[in-house]
């Protein structure tokens, strides 16, 4: 059984620091997640992040703690924390990064939906992540 964590957060990155920060996050994530047997996908809309991580329980707990205390974002809102029988992602990827009002509104809308209907918000966020990710959708979505 895999442990999963799905969240949305608000970027704390000033515009002129974004590109370098995203590069640094991708670099550390590629190697660290592989070592922890964690897969998933990250989206950056310019002002919000969304991410799914999936893997062994202790690995996900370690990463979750590191990510939550990272000052490059704030308001880390858990959309789903649970378990799954199969991975949604074969590897770890930056599924989308850029300034997109459309993606940003989607993330805002899903964050609001989470309050009313947590299951629907979680389904919708997984769809957004898999649709953006070339390596996504290996199991079911």
Helix (H) or strand (E) holding 52: strand 48-55
- Identify the residue among 46, 72, 77, 104 touching ligand FMN (CB under 6 A): 72
Residue 4 forms beta bridges with which residues? 54, 82
Contact flags string 23-42 toward ligand FMN, x per CB under 6 A? --x--xx--xx--------x
Residue 129, phi then psi, degrees to nearest 5: -65, -45
Interface segment toward ligand FMN; rule CB under 6 A; list 69-77, 97-105, 122-130, 132-140: 69-77
Contact 72, 13 (CB under 8 A): yes
Of residues 69 and 85, the one with the C-beta less far from ligand FMN: 69
User: Of 101, 91, 88, 99, nearest to 131 (Cα)?
Assistant: 88
Q: How far is the CB of 36 from ligand FMN (least distance, A)?
A: 8
Number of residues located near ligand FMN, criterion CB under 6 A: 15
Query: Alpha-carbon distance 2 to 82, whole Å?
Result: 8
Q: How far is the CB of 7 from ligand FMN (least distance, A)?
A: 9
- Identify the residue among 8, 63, 95, 103 touching ligand FMN (CB under 6 A): 63
């Amino acid at each position: 059984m895999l442990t999963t964590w799905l969240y949305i957060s608000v970027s704390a990155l000033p515009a002129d620091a974004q590109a370098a920060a995203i590069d640094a996050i991708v670099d550390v994530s590629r190697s660290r997640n592989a070592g922890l047997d964690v897969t998933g996908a990250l989206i950056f809309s310019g002002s919000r992040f969304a991410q799914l991580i999936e893997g062994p329980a202790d690995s996900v707990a370690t990463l979750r703690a590191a990510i939550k205390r990272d000052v490059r974002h704030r308001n880390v809102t858990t959309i789903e924390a649970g378990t799954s029988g199969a991975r949604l992602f074969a590897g770890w990827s930056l599924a989308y990064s850029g300034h997109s009002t459309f993606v940003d509104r989607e993330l805002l809308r899903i964050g609001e939906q989470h309050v009313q209907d947590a299951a629907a918000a979680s389904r919708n966020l997984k769809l957004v992540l898999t649709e953006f990710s070339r390596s996504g959708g290996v199991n079911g979505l």
